[in-house]
Structure formats: C-alpha cells, structure tokens
Structure 1
C-alpha cells in the first residue's frame, strides 16, 4: 500500500478490500485470495487503527465478525454473538497472549511483590478445523434449530441441512442436559471425501471446489437439503453458546461427548505457555496425517471462572486464541509456463512462479497437470494465482485472481513438437472407467511420439528401470544415466546389459573399482522376480502392488503378455482402466521389442509358476455374461440366462424365440441381449475371451484346484511407527508372503495394526475402531508362529 496515502485513505482502502473478500468468502463461497493474504490485510488494518484510534468506526471489519446471511435462508439471531478468535502467527505472539492473561488474572499482585510467581494457566487445546462455523440448538434434548455464524449476530437457518449430517445427533444421549442447549462447532469435509467429491464433479462436467472448506460451505448452503445429504459432511463441536454445564472447558467438552455430540479426538489439557507450544509442535508434525484439513491450533483458558473474568474485546474473547500454521496457500505471479517430457512421453506444463513461501518452503514451480487443467483454470501468463502446497505434495495452482489480471497477460499454447527431441506431439484421449466399464470422465494428454529416441523419455525410463523397487541396480544414478544416454551407449534398457569395462571406465568419475562394481550390479540384476520385472517395464498405471498381483495370479510373463483386458479384469484390484493399459502396452510393437531384447540379454525370471490356484475354474458362465455389461442383465438375470443355455456357443447362436424361453427374462433385457449378439465384432471378442479362459484354466468347465489357504489371506494389515528389528519393507514382504494386504491407512476393514515406536494418528484411529494392535515384539512372535 502506498505510503503517500493519508491514514484515512489507507483505512478506506483496507476496509473496502477486506469487505470485498468477506463477500466472496462468506456469501459467494468463492474466495479469491488465500487465508494468508486475508490475514495480512487484517493485521495491517488492526495496526493502523491502533495507531489512529480516533479513526475507528463501527462499520470497520475489526469491530464485528465478517459475513452476511445469504438470501433464500431465513435469518436467525444468535442469543449470544458468535465471535471469531484473535490470531497468533509467531511463538512470540503466543507468549505475549499468555503473559496478558497472567497479568489480567494476577490482579496487580505481582506489582506489589517482586518475588510473586503467577499460578500457571491451564489451557484446553484442539486443532482449528478449516470448515464453516455453525450453531446447533437442542430443546429438551431434541435438535430444534441450526444456523451459520453469519455476521456474528445474525446467521442463516440451515436446520434441514444440518439434520442430514450423519454425526450430528437428532436427539441427545443420556440425561441431565439443560432444557435448552446451544452447541457450536465446525462443519467440515474430510480430505478423502473432498477428493471423491471433486472426482465426481469432474466426471459430470461440473465446477470443482478449490479446497475442503469451500466444499463444506457450498454443501451446507444448499436450499435443497437433498443435495446436502449427498455431500460427505461432518460436525465437530468446540464449545457452548448459552450455558455453562461444568467448571472447565475440558469438562464441558467431555460432558457434551457423553450426550452424543462429536468433539475433537485431539482435545488436550496443558499447562502454561510451554505446554501450548509443545502441543502446537505435536499437531503440526502430524498435520498431514490427520483425515481433515486444519490451519492452526485453538487455545482456550480452561477454567470457566477465569474466562468470565477475562471477558471479551469487540470481536473476540480475551481468553482464547488461534495459533496459525504457516500458510499452505499463498498468492503469487505466474511468470511463465514450460513443458516437460515424462517417462511415458507425456508433455506436462509446469508453472514458473514468482518465488513465495508456502507452508514454510519457498515455491517457485507448480504442476499444471495438462492443457485441460489450464483451460479449466482460465490461466494466462502474467496472472496472479493462488498456489497450494499440502505436506510433501507437489505445489499446484488452484485458482486465478481475475481482478488482478494485467493488460499484457499472454495465452498458453501447447507445443506441436517435443521440447526435448523435436518429434511430433500427438493428442491422446484419456477415459476413466468404473469397474463396470462405464466412462466416468474424459480428458486428453499430449505425448511425444519419439519414445526411446527422445532423450527425456529414455532417461526417465532408465531411472525407473534401475530403481530399488524395480531391477535394483545399485550405482546407476541420474548423472551416470545422463552420460550413458548422451554418449549413445544406451538406447534402451537392454543396452545396460551390453555395457563393457572399456565403455564404463571412460565415464566421468569412474575408476577401476567403481567400474567393476557397476558392471557387477548390472549382472546381479539378471535374475529378478517376475513382479520386479513387470514393475521395471514402466507399464502405465502399474505400480508395485499391481505388478505383484499380475505375477502372483498369472504366474508367468507369457500369460501377462497374452492376457486380454477381459481376462485381466478377473484379477483382484485390476479394473477396466488398468486392464486396458496392460493390454495396450504389450500390444505395442516397440514394447515387444524391448522385452524380447531384455530376455535375449540374459534376463532370467526366477519365480514363474502356474496360474494361481484360486483362479482355476473361478469364472462362472453367469460371471462371463454379466461382464458384457448389457442393459437389463445384471447378476440375477445373467444367472438365469446361464442356467438356461448349456454352453456359450448355444447362447451365441440363440434367436428371439430361444431367448424368450428363458424363465423370468424381461422382454427388454432379451431384446438388448439379442441386439448385442448380432454384432459380429462383439461375438468375436467373446469367443476370444472364452478361448483364453480355457487356455489359462479359468473357464467354468475347468476343475477348481484344491488349494491351501494362506494364513493371512484376505486380511488387511497396517504398519505404523518405527520398527527396530525389521525394516518397513521387510515387514511388508513377510506379511504379503502370508497372504495379507498391507495398507497405508486404518479403516473398518483393517484386521490388525502393528505399532512401532512413535506411532501416531493411525494407532489412535485403530484404538477408536477397537482394532487389534500388536507391538513389535508381539508382531515378530506372530510372524514366527505363522511361518513355522
């Protein structure tokens, strides 16, 4: 802000800007700047008003809580205003807050006694959820009314919408609650639910939400409660509005929880400023593992008597504060867009940003995903943008601040030639399917057609091929691969196995010992497990776990190479999309040549076996018919058709009369089936799929093999914390060998959680769900028993 402006003009500008942002944030649910930018402006306003108290007006944003009720909802006047909280951004702010409280509660005694020590203040603390503040009133234990905070005095009646939130009790549990009880808290959307909501929006061609807070606000402010009911919202109470039911904040929260009101599982009571700082650091370290977004920690004086003594300022209580985390969203300038080439040839736009601190890290680059994303954002070079970074996730541009677009902003265009090798760039249509094959969303990606002749693709493919979880060739890092490619020594992964001593020792940084070590590491990788080899090939969408499924189920490279998409979809956790990626990869002539060259170079797969026993004869005739996805023929109808016809060939040659004779087959379903079978192309695909099921031994006429069930087959285990006697990889490997699936998060489907040292939120979640927990010693003992 220009210093040439008078204080009156500066205040007018700040107030107008904050009021505009308030309107966008609270009324439109469409914030145009991140919270950090808003907080900075608000701090400027408060500092300027503190310097010129005579210029403070009742209309200033500093004198009231922001926001207005939305049109379309009835207004609700709060019996006690819903105030916001003061903010702390640095440790010194927090220390000053505690010192102010100590002075206020000491009553001046310390001034008369130099040796007096104030009693340590007890605080109730909990994470600051990033949601929408609401008030919920109960009369005689029954939910009567719910309202948004609005402007603090008047909010919007959202009773019908709040009733749809599953964890909000319609009637309180237990007894002893007052005749009227008003609870206050945050309505929020969990991270996983937010991601799923945006996926559905993209599939339907609808607007996506910028963040979970925005999604929660937009969901809660629907005039049609049926829409809200479809949104995965949750409520967390942080206090009361109109009555004290206990002598401390923490006891109030415990009592509310007993009555069925959800409170934060992270709520704690601490002593003094150091206790507050320790809690802040602990929550900050676990922030990214929490299932919901938070932007700080709220500290409240625990004793209600002390809260009453401290009282309120104009817009906030003196006994509470929000200690904010470093912003995960910031505002900056898009200076340019560059295009990078990935391992599969995908041309990805990357934003070059004016450097800005986001979440404590300087960010100068951010992903833009593809041209569809650029178009969705309406992005131009020179724009002011909001960039978001959560934990270790790559920063991304989430929004354009259109009102700040400069006159010389430039459009972003897709290059027609690869920026690395000059080859043509082609547009590939992408489709995401449901498990049933239904198209959920569509998009496009631009790819360089140069394949391994493109240095960027070759280098990335080689780095993936030699990585630890793939062929595990120690000593082949990025700099060495750069040299091998640039000198023309390696043009495909198979060339690694033809490197000579004379070629390697000429590379920069190599001597006799390092050359011998590298060649030995290359040679030692010639006998990989099938799963490692499949993962190393870099098949799109085939990660480490999917590669293990392919190896365990199909047993041999030949079967994986031959497998049709219809066959692959019978494997566990292989859906329509991945099945087609695997099939298309092995159909590619170039990929066939690379695999053949690797085998010719001496690759010997060590663990090839027969088809997994559980797949033998596993596909029933009804399953096969249901897989065709014909309208009107689901599980039960497919079973009737399968029972009526003695073989697939009989069904494929059936006419209308034959289909009409199927018991309880609806006429419309029969018509759809007949129409489907009239396509020669469809029939050919069906016959090829059946033939492969016969060859693989999965056909319904094949005899199921007797199999010994793995000890942990069908169970999901979760590892958390640090193990001292095993690495995480070793523990996972041993569990998988016993048939278990090792997951990264705890859910109702989790069978056992193994908790090592410093186990965090996963252990907490396991205890909440009453899931069995083993310490490291118990875990190793269990493994030993099962493996013996």
Structure 2
C-alpha cells in the first residue's frame, strides 16, 4: 500500500470518528478549524489519487449529477403510520389495549396489575426515510412514500452530514435497514430562509416543508447545501441479531454511529409516559428542533411481535400529539364538493391565515350537522385548528364578532357539478319485526356516474394502487379523460386508442404506449381486487377479500341477498344491504357487463369456500328473520320441533302449543309474521339461495380438496422470530386452516413462541396440541411450504 493510500485510510477513520463524536455523541473533541484542516488534507489527497476515492469517504457528501426522476423502492417491511392520541384518556386506552393484547392482569382494588415498559422519544416533524446498510455500508436511501413503495433518494441521503456512510465498530447485521426522520433544526431553517431570501429564491413556510423539499431534490448538490439532519427511531429488514428491546436496539444503533434522540427514555406504565409527555411539552419551545408530540412504543420486541399490526399501524406504538395550533380568521364562503359516492360535503373558504407555520385558506366542515353544531354563518370570525399534517378544522365561532350581514349556510338543492337533485340519506335501523328510518348526516347527489365529480373519483379509485393498479393514470389524467368525454365509466378505459391518448396534454409516443400497456395489463385482476375497485360503499379491502374468498365468484356476489351475506363473518346488516343495493342497480350491472365484454377476466374465481358449505342452521335462519319475541332460544326450539322452514311456516296454533317453553306472545308473533305473504315469500327466497350456494343446513359439508389443514382451527401466540404472525396466518390459511384469536376445545393446535401467556395455559388445560416455532416450521416444511 502506498503512503497516500495509508494516509487516506487514516484520515477517513479519524474524520469518521470525529463525525460520530460531533453528530451522535454531542462530544466534539477538536475545534472546527482542526476538523477542516483534516478534511481538506483528505480532499487534496483524493484529488491527486482519484483511483483511491470510495463512496464511503467523508468527502463524498457534496452531491452528484442531477437525476431526471427518482426510482421506486418497494419496502420489504411496510413503513406504517402510527395511531394518534390527543387526550390523556386516549393514551390510557392505548395502554389498556396493549395489556389486554398481552394477556396481562389489569389490576383492581387490591392491586395495580402489571405495568408495560415503553420507550419514549419526541416525535420529530420531518420526513420518514429508510437507510439500507449491507455489510456495514450505506447502499440505499428511500422515502416512506405510501408505506409500501417509496422513492430512491440514495444520492441525497449520502449528503446528510450525520448519516454514516459506513457503520462504526463491529457486529452489525449483514443487512440492516434503519428507519428514521430527516429534519431541519430551527436554526438551520432560519439560516436557509435568510440565504434563500438574499439570493431571490423560494422561502419555506416551516422546517418540515424545508426538509421535505430539500430531500426530494433531483439535484443532490442542492440537498448537500441544505442543513439537514437524521435521527433514527427503528429498523425494518434485518438479517442478523439485535437487542431484544426498543431502547436497547436504539442504543446499539448509536454505538454503530447512527444518531438517536438524546431525549430517549424508558417509562414503566402509562402514568410515567404521561409524566414524560408533560415534561417534553414544557420544554418544547427550548428544543433545537420542531416536534408535534411524543412517540411511545412497547419496549419489548417480543411483545411488539405478539401484539402485531392493524391494517395500517402497529398495535404496540402510538403518537401522543400536542394540542394543535389555533388562529382566528374570517369565513369568506362555504362551497360544496362532490365525492366518489356522491356525498356533497361543505368546505370552508377562509381569509388566508398562518397556522402552525402553514398558510391556511380552506378547512373541512365534515357535513351539515357539523355546520349546525357550530352555528356557522358566512362572514363569521372562526377559530381554526391545525395539528401536524391534519387537515385544518373550524373549531368554534366567535359569536361576539358576528357581522350584521352574516348569511346562513344552505345545502344546495341541485348538485354543484351536474345539476342533479341532492337528497339527504336515510338511515335504516333493523330490529325484531320492524325497520326504523331516520335522517343521516350525509347529503348525496343522485346523478351517480352521470355526475362528472363522482365519475372522476370512481375512476381514480378503480385505477388506484390497491385496486387495479393502472400506472400512469393519475388524478389529472383521469380528469382530462372525463372532461374530454373519452370515458364515461371505468369500462371505457379499455376502449381508449393510441390516437385518442397521444393528443392529450402531457402525452407523447412513449407515455401513450406505456399507459395503454398498463391498462391492458389490468385486464386480469383477482376477484378480490376487482370487487374493491368497484367502489361499493363501506366495502374496503378486507371485506372485498372476504367476499371473494367466501363466495368464490362474481356471479354469487352479485346475486347474494342481504340475509345470505350476513352469514359471512364481519358483514353486518347495513354493509350487506349496501352490497346488495350496489349490484341491484341497473347502471352498475351494465358497467360490470361492459367490463367483462371488453376483456376483463377475473382470476381466482371458483366454488364456494368449504368453510361456508352447510354453514347455516335452521335455528340461526329463523333468528335472523327478526321475528318479534322469537330469540335464539325460541328459534332453537322451533327448529328442533319442526325440522324445516316449511314446517314452521305451516305450523298452526295447535302445533305451536306443542313447542316446549314457547309462550303465547311468541307463538302469536310467529303466526302474524308468516301470515303475511311477503314475509313467507322472502324467507323461501333466502332459503332457496342458501341451497343454491351450498350454504343450506342440508347442503353437503366439504373439506377443501388438496388442503391438508382444511377444517382445522389453529391459534398463534407469543413471539414468532423467523416470520411475522401475519405471514404465519397466511401460510396456515393457504393450507386450509382457520386461524382464530382464542383457544377453545375446538382448537386443533396452538403455535406458541416465547412470551406466550394465558393462551398457552388454556391450551395445556384443555389438552390442545402445542408446537413451538421450530416444530411449526418443520410442520410447514412437511406440507411443502417454504418461507
């Protein structure tokens, strides 16, 4: 090795150590002038020996050539958002849910129960990013994006001074994905704005906007010139060992040179968390950076795994927000927007005012009930609140400032977009023997897809990532297609031609061909994605998956009566009626027919899922008819006595008197119900469909052919270290098993990882088979299932 190469390695190691002491430990050991001397010496040596320059050198933070666009990065472990607590009661409720999820004693008059340990740190107001290290070297940086897919900002994160290009020390995992926040200090923000103003450039509203705008520059040299900082708060993908607690893991990251919050603390129980929250709140203004709350996380990584995740957030973490910033301004007008389902929503147009560093000119009013609750009139002075990135809200009217010419807010009688009638929704409450109508809080345009606003939103939903995922069809493009009359329903997407698209604003030859190819690729969606894409009110992704898995075909889903749909888990009466009404609508049926005619071929269609074959009972059927005074017990007696629906319908007074413990009031109610021809006809119609679907109590029960665990119920508990519990659940369901949340005598097997609690004890008590994770993985391998 040459003298230059040796000296370069020495300088890099020394500068890395000084960077670590300065940015991570906050313990600089040399003056800035000496650091600059060492840095300039390294820079000169690398300039004279360019073949010795490496990507992890401290000199390589100046940025490179500008990019034309950011690439996409798919997060192997999703970057989820956090649930929020705004009041003390919200945090206490979170702590209660955590303790219940871990099967910990809640405490009573004679004891305080078991406290959970939480890590506590300020919630920085910045931009969430992911840093990927392989063999200790930074290889990629990415934004959070939508949680599943972000943007590749590797060139930019390399320019952030306190992001180590190479990890310190030793023992780091072969692959380590670090997650944290890129932010700008208050002082750095002031310096940047002063510099921008001096040079005639754009100034920023607040440090968060400045950080986000700086990090997403296509020219990394601009990013390098901005005073950005990084603070890590967790990890994603890891191939190797890390400490078993949140605090221990972060402290280990600090040893490896990654900056963590200096305010990181460990709290025992919710009350110590509240003490931390109050302390940080009192010191908030003196901190060097903006924060909008505090983040609490269950400290035990094992307990985090046991608690798992909801659809979009972990059950083991919460952001306790500080009270929102508020300002006074004038309500200039109220306008009405039309959404995908036709909901006509009032929006406040305000005299612009700066709230929490952001200029606010609009605010949500939710619905007309909220307008009435506030007593809002146009011209009023109002209090506006904004918390973090939450849409500003009108919180209160200052009545003493109401002008004499203030005007009331009226819902329009005609849709502001298409001119169709606007009607107030009706809420139907169904109970034993009757339906009660009441007025809902939502007004809807009845124009459906004849209304351009509803059409645009419906198509935007149809092409979205979680629906048919048609790349290149952003909101603006959809608006162009609707406004030019090229599409009047989602089915028209499949008739678009090259000649129609290429002349649209923003399109050229390549972008046109790419869009048409993406539309063509969307013609083979899974049944679940297609159902979700249709935009049925109250039907989200999980309900769409349930409908597809349970009923197996679009034909059955379209035909399903509300009473039949309620036999599916988690489908209540209101959702069932929304689904049925959607498919009863002639326009919707026409659009679905056109989609099929134009080449949309649904995948993963099949038979009724074996779990739902013969899933109904006669007693349950009678109970679901909501006959007054006939409860579950009475329904059981009737089913036992007569054995069939026709037998119950035909039963006379003498027959009914033979039913044990069926009182006269119940018997009279039953006869009155079935004496109405429409009730008897509806009951027969529902029974016929149950029979057609194979769900009838006399239908043949089935095992899923080829699935070895069909008909078995499994339960997962404790910490699974090789795979998440969600992945384990998917594997089991793929083998035909049902995965339940609690142990019972019907449980076939319990998979128990470290930290298993009451579920393991109950399984032992009931004699349920128990597997540890190694045995579980071996069992999966025996069925040919690999990770």
Q: 1:662: which partner in 2?
A: 659
Does the Cα contact within 8 Å between 1:713 and 1:738 map onto a contact in 2? no
Q: CA offsets per residue over residues 134-170 of structure 1, 9 Å max, x none?
A: xxxxxxxxxxxxxxxxxxxxxxxxxxxxxxxx97854
Report which stretch shifted further, 686-695 or 504-513: 504-513
Out of 670, 683, 691, which is 1:686 matched to? 683
Does the Cα contact within 8 Å between 2:378 and 2:407 map onto a contact in 1? yes
- For 1:378 and 1:565, the matched residues in 2 are separated by 39
- For 2:331 and 2:649, the matched residues in 1 are separated by 59
Change (3 A) 1:456 1:170: same
Change (3 A) 1:526 1:668: same
Deviation (angstroms), 1:595: 0.4
Residue 653 of structure 1 pairs with residue 656 of structure 2? no
Change (3 A) 1:661 1:568: same
Out of 276, 284, 304, which is 2:294 matched to? 284
Does the Cα contact within 8 Å between 1:718 and 1:752 map onto a contact in 2? no
Q: 1:506: which partner in 2?
A: 503
Report the count of equivalent residues: 500
- For 1:274 and 1:373, the matched residues in 2 are separated by 33
Report which stretch shifted further, 498-507 or 394-403: 394-403
Out of 582, 585, 590, which is 2:579 matched to? 582
Does the Cα contact within 8 Å between 2:424 and 2:440 map onto a contact in 1? no
Q: Secondary structure at the match of 1:665?
A: coil
Q: 2:331: which partner in 1?
A: 334
Change (3 A) 1:736 1:402: farther
Q: CA offsets per residue over residues 601-622 of structure 1, 9 Å max, x none?
A: 0111111110010111110000
Q: Secondary structure at the match of 1:598?
A: helix
Q: 1:705: which partner in 2?
A: 702
Does the Cα contact within 8 Å between 1:471 and 1:533 map onto a contact in 2? yes
Q: Secondary structure at the match of 2:337?
A: strand
Does the Cα contact within 8 Å between 1:415 and 1:425 map onto a contact in 2? yes
Out of 409, 413, 416, which is 1:412 matched to? 409
- For 1:412 and 1:519, the matched residues in 2 are separated by 45
Residue 385 of structure 1 pairs with residue 382 of structure 2? yes
Q: CA offsets per residue over residues 523-542 of structure 1, 9 Å max, x none?
A: 11111100111111111111
Q: 1:551: which partner in 2?
A: 548
Instruction: Calculate the TM-score normalised by the size of structure 1.
Output: 0.54
Out of 591, 596, 600, which is 2:593 matched to? 596
Deviation (angstroms), 1:402: 3.3
Does the Cα contact within 8 Å between 1:430 and 1:445 map onto a contact in 2? no
Deviation (angstroms), 1:677: 1.5
Q: 2:184: which partner in 1?
A: none
Change (3 A) 1:580 1:376: same
Out of 255, 263, 272, which is 1:264 matched to? 272
Q: 1:675: which partner in 2?
A: 672
Change (3 A) 1:514 1:683: same
Structure 1 alignment gaps of length 5 or more: 1-126, 133-165, 175-252, 297-324, 756-762
Deviation (angstroms), 1:377: 2.9
Deviation (angstroms), 1:277: 5.1
- For 1:698 and 1:560, the matched residues in 2 are separated by 14
Change (3 A) 1:527 1:454: same
Deviation (angstroms), 1:660: 1.9
Q: 2:607: which partner in 1?
A: 610
Instruction: Calculate the TM-score normalised by the size of structure 2.
Output: 0.54
Report which stretch shifted further, 673-682 or 561-570: 673-682
Does the Cα contact within 8 Å between 1:452 and 1:458 map onto a contact in 2? yes
Report which stretch shifted further, 361-370 or 522-531: 361-370
- For 1:592 and 1:452, the matched residues in 2 are separated by 13
Does the Cα contact within 8 Å between 2:426 and 2:437 map onto a contact in 1? no
Q: CA offsets per residue over residues 666-720 of structure 1, 9 Å max, x none?
A: 2222222222112211111111100100100111111211245469967689999
Structure 2 alignment gaps of length 5 or more: 1-83, 90-104, 114-266, 298-312, 762-772
Q: CA offsets per residue over residues 434-464 of structure 1, 9 Å max, x none?
A: 8999769741532223222221111111111
Does the Cα contact within 8 Å between 1:712 and 1:738 map onto a contact in 2? no
Q: 2:532: which partner in 1?
A: 535
- For 2:374 and 2:739, the matched residues in 1 are separated by 37
Q: CA offsets per residue over residues 596-652 of structure 1, 9 Å max, x none?
A: 000000111111110010111110000001101223222211100110113111111
